[in-house]
Structure 1
Amino acid sequence: MSLWKHHDFRWLWLGQSASQLASFAGQVTVPLVAVTSLGAGAAQLGILRAVQGLPILLFSLAVGVLVDRLRSRTVLVAADLGRAVVLASVPLGLGLGLPFLYVVGFTVGLFTVCFDVAYMASLPQLVERNQLAQGNSMLETTRSAAQICGPAFGGGLVSLLGAPIAVVAGAVLYAFSSLSVSRIRNRVSTPVAQSGVLRQIGEGLRVVVRDASLRAIAAATCAYQFSFTALTTVYLLFLTRTLDLPGAVVGLVMASFGPGVLIGSLLSAWLPRRFGYGRVVVYAALVSDLVMLITSTLHGPGPITVAALIAINILYGALSQSVDVAVVAIRQLVTPLPVQGRVVATINFLGLGLTPLGALLGGAAAGVFGVRTALLVATAGLFLSPLCLTRLSRSLVGRV
């Protein structure tokens, strides 16, 4: 059965689509409130970005326990309803200044952690095992489209309505998402022993450590997030200082990742059926890293260099997104239903927890060894991920 005919999946997809559009639009609208309405400078914007991301490190593991204890639908509805209420309060609270906006950013970040863990854990409860690849492909296609269109949508709303009212438009989308997800009929919930939170967090960690496939996924995620964060930190310096590209061209080059990610999402259901999960995750990751390695060999701001950068980014985006969606499907297939939330949260926590260190070391390497060398080293670090995925491919024999 096509998932377009699946009642519960259609409502999950519709809610997730609205939620992702609001989330990526909010990456523009909320900072613009800080700048245009509250006079924030670079330091204040940095603080706002930091407090928005802080809940990932502070609460991911506890949220995994919450998702496993409750129905995923309940968490999804509450998370987006919470984001809607918080963002709707922005025009009323501007008189409180930047501290109020920091609280808004932190609270929205917390609800975002809840929604992201819950929607990734909910799919295996709603669809059959053989539908997971298609379901993940559809959800990630929507997310990729929102990633491309969301910032432009947010910027357009700011131009038409002003930043504070544009934020309220995001609240409307979150409210619509909450209403859509509430239409899911599935009432299946896997009973979880109501032991202490720390004990249940430990159970999630042990599941990841003891399962060969999940252990390989966690290792690959850590290697990728650390190296990719270091790479993106150096990448902007490479484009602006080493290649001496003007700002408009830098924006065009950075935007070219988006179409690649969208292509990868569209292909991600077909590739595992054609080649198998093991081959897709290993070879697509390896080829994408080899393609990115070409970047450090480019010189000068000429049109050939710009065309090469765009081609590299599109191809890298397509291949890396195919790997990401396949890895998510594998994780859902091999994880027992009672610990889906905790496994998602554990892997997210481990992977994203290394991103600040990757950013710091990437910047430090550029200062000590030069931008081009640092970019080459960071790109070489990406090859640790397909190495870990090779072990994942071996562990999948007889499992998926």
Structure 2
Amino acid sequence: MPSASSAASDSGRVSSSLWRDIDFRRLWAGQTASQLGEQSSLVVLPLFAVLTLHAGAGQLGVLRAVGQAPVLLLSLFVGAWVDGWRARTVMVLTDAGRTLALGAAALAGLFGRLDLPTLFVVAFAVGALSVFFDVAYQASLVRMVERDQLVRANSALEGSRSAAQIGGPALGGTVVSLLSAPVAAASGALFFALSFLSIRRIRRIESIPELSEGRPRVWRRIHEGLRFVLGDTSLRTVCLASAAFQFCFAAVMTVYLLFLPRELQVSGTVVGLTLAAAGPGALLGSLLAARLPGRFGHGTVLVCAAALGDGVFLCVPALHGSSAVTVLALLSISFVFGCGGQLVNVTVMAVRQAVTPDGMQGRAAATITCVGMGSAPLGSLLGGLLAQEWGLRTGLLVTAAGMMLSPAVMALSPLAFLGRELPGPRN
């Protein structure tokens, strides 16, 4: 049996070889810039609607639903399509498209044309292109690194997502408050342009699985992806838990983005900083995800992290006023949520990639994304309705309680009993 020191040495060599790969570093840099653009835009568009256009709860729910709808409408088709294309090409094209979309929003704002209908169009366009990027980048990672490097590679990339969660919302909220929404949209476009430049420099030639002949390719491949995910107990549970979480979290965030400025009377800068506080927590979660599953088991980590991260939102409805104590409590809640959520994200991604053959990676990722994130538009609409009919505080309490469905689903499934070792690919 290898000693602890030799195991640590092997782990260090794996991590060192990963970062010596210049193409992986370019993917990491591009992913970081892309996430900064995406995270800032997720704050900029709703804050502009609430603070400048004085959008009501129902209108904000519709705006968020429009931005999330492409996940439900496109994910399965994108997964089937990406498995037959080079991921680098897809990511480069989508970064270019998102740069143009947010750039157009910035120009519309400068000329006084950035109204709610324009926001709907921009939100849908950015959301649709983000579906392509997210599926492609997950498929590109498996084609780029060895399977024994997946956990560390995912941890590194999710760490970049954490950094984006720190900087993106804070930047978006601050720029909207101090300058203007058009300038904030332009900053998001700049990040997507930087991602475009970084990923475009990746030189590794990807191997594309051969497409078989027969029935129309896209429908056959979508069916194969659905059958594979639904036929695997772990992936099926991930789909159900993800759907429960995304539905309730979308409802929570719709109410939350109204609750902070209107009920607690905090500024756009504080809203951005509060959302950004999830970033340091997510960074800690990324670091813990490289160690805790191997010590306590993947199933135990998933259930405990989900229960802690989701349950902490139940504290928000108890807050009153905009005092320093309230702001500190909001920051702490976001930090804990980010840590637990990132632990779940990294662990789930490692499980999904480990049990999925290379030629099925894009479709498996897209299927889980579609089932999970596809419920988000409905959650956003429900959140807006509850806030409008029951009030912000009651609506937030009910939707936050619903978030506990996700850890409950995992705790009652075989996923909770996954051990320290990841399972192998299922054919």
Percent of residue pairs bearing the same amino acid type: 49
Aligned equivalent of 2:79, options 50, 57, 64? 64
Deviation, structure 1 residue 191: 2.3
Unaligned runs of 5+ in 1: none
| Structure-2 change in CA distance of 1:154 and 1:394 (3 Å) | closer
State the partner residue of 1:287: 308
Q: Structure 2 CA distance, aligned partners of 1:45 and 1:238?
A: 12
CA offsets, 1:150-171, max 9 Å, x none?
Answer: 2443466679986556645544
**Which amino acid in structure 2 is aligned with residue 399 of structure 1?**
P
State the partner residue of 2:417: 394
Q: Structure 1 CA distance, aligned partners of 2:351 and 2:299?
A: 9
TM-score norm. by structure 1 comes to: 0.82
Aligned equivalent of 1:264, options 285, 288, 292? 285
State the partner residue of 2:149: 131
RMSD over aligned Cα, in angstroms? Answer: 3.8
| Structure-2 change in CA distance of 1:20 and 1:300 (3 Å) | closer
State the partner residue of 1:117: 135
| Structure-2 change in CA distance of 1:171 and 1:307 (3 Å) | closer
Q: Structure 2 CA distance, aligned partners of 1:368 and 1:104?
A: 28
State the partner residue of 2:4: none
Deviation, structure 1 residue 86: 4.1
Q: Structure 1 CA distance, aligned partners of 2:400 and 2:106?
A: 43
Q: Structure 2 CA distance, aligned partners of 1:394 and 1:231?
A: 29
Aligned equivalent of 2:233, options 212, 232, 245? 212
**Segment of structure 1 superposing worse, 325-334 or 103-112:** 103-112
CA offsets, 1:163-216, max 9 Å, x none?
Answer: 556645544433332232233314222223364322222221111111111101
State the partner residue of 2:29: 14
Please tell me whether the aligned partners of residues 55 and 109 of structure 1 are also in contact (alpha carbons under 8 angstroms).
yes
Please tell me whether the aligned partners of residues 8 and 186 of structure 1 are also in contact (alpha carbons under 8 angstroms).
no
Q: Structure 1 CA distance, aligned partners of 2:265 and 2:274?
A: 11
| Structure-2 change in CA distance of 1:257 and 1:88 (3 Å) | closer
| Structure-2 change in CA distance of 1:368 and 1:203 (3 Å) | same
Alignment of 1:1-400 (within 5 A): 1-2=14-15, 3-27=18-42, 42=55, 49-89=64-104, 97=113, 102-154=120-172, 164=182, 167-184=185-202, 185-193=204-212, 195-235=216-256, 245-248=264-267, 251=271, 253-294=274-315, 298=318, 300-301=320-321, 307-362=328-383, 375-390=396-411, 391=413, 392-394=415-417, 399=423
Pairs aligned (count): 395
CA offsets, 1:208-244, max 9 Å, x none?
Answer: 1111111011011012112323334455677678xx6
Q: Structure 2 CA distance, aligned partners of 1:153 and 1:387?
A: 35
Please tell me whether the aligned partners of residues 230 and 362 of structure 1 are also in contact (alpha carbons under 8 angstroms).
yes
| Structure-2 change in CA distance of 1:207 and 1:178 (3 Å) | same
CA offsets, 1:370-396, max 9 Å, x none?
Answer: 766655554443333223323213366
- Give 3-state SS (helix, strand or coil) of 1:282's partner: helix
| Structure-2 change in CA distance of 1:264 and 1:398 (3 Å) | closer
- Give 3-state SS (helix, strand or coil) of 1:17's partner: helix
Q: Structure 2 CA distance, aligned partners of 1:293 and 1:107?
A: 33
- Give 3-state SS (helix, strand or coil) of 1:69's partner: coil
| Structure-2 change in CA distance of 1:84 and 1:329 (3 Å) | same
| Structure-2 change in CA distance of 1:182 and 1:283 (3 Å) | same
- Give 3-state SS (helix, strand or coil) of 1:247's partner: coil
Deviation, structure 1 residue 116: 1.1
Q: Structure 2 CA distance, aligned partners of 1:34 and 1:290?
A: 29
**Segment of structure 1 superposing worse, 5-14 or 366-375:** 366-375
Deviation, structure 1 residue 16: 0.9
**Segment of structure 1 superposing worse, 209-218 or 103-112:** 103-112
Q: Structure 2 CA distance, aligned partners of 1:199 and 1:91?
A: 41
Deviation, structure 1 residue 58: 1.9
Please tell me whether the aligned partners of residues 121 and 332 of structure 1 are also in contact (alpha carbons under 8 angstroms).
no
| Structure-2 change in CA distance of 1:12 and 1:375 (3 Å) | same
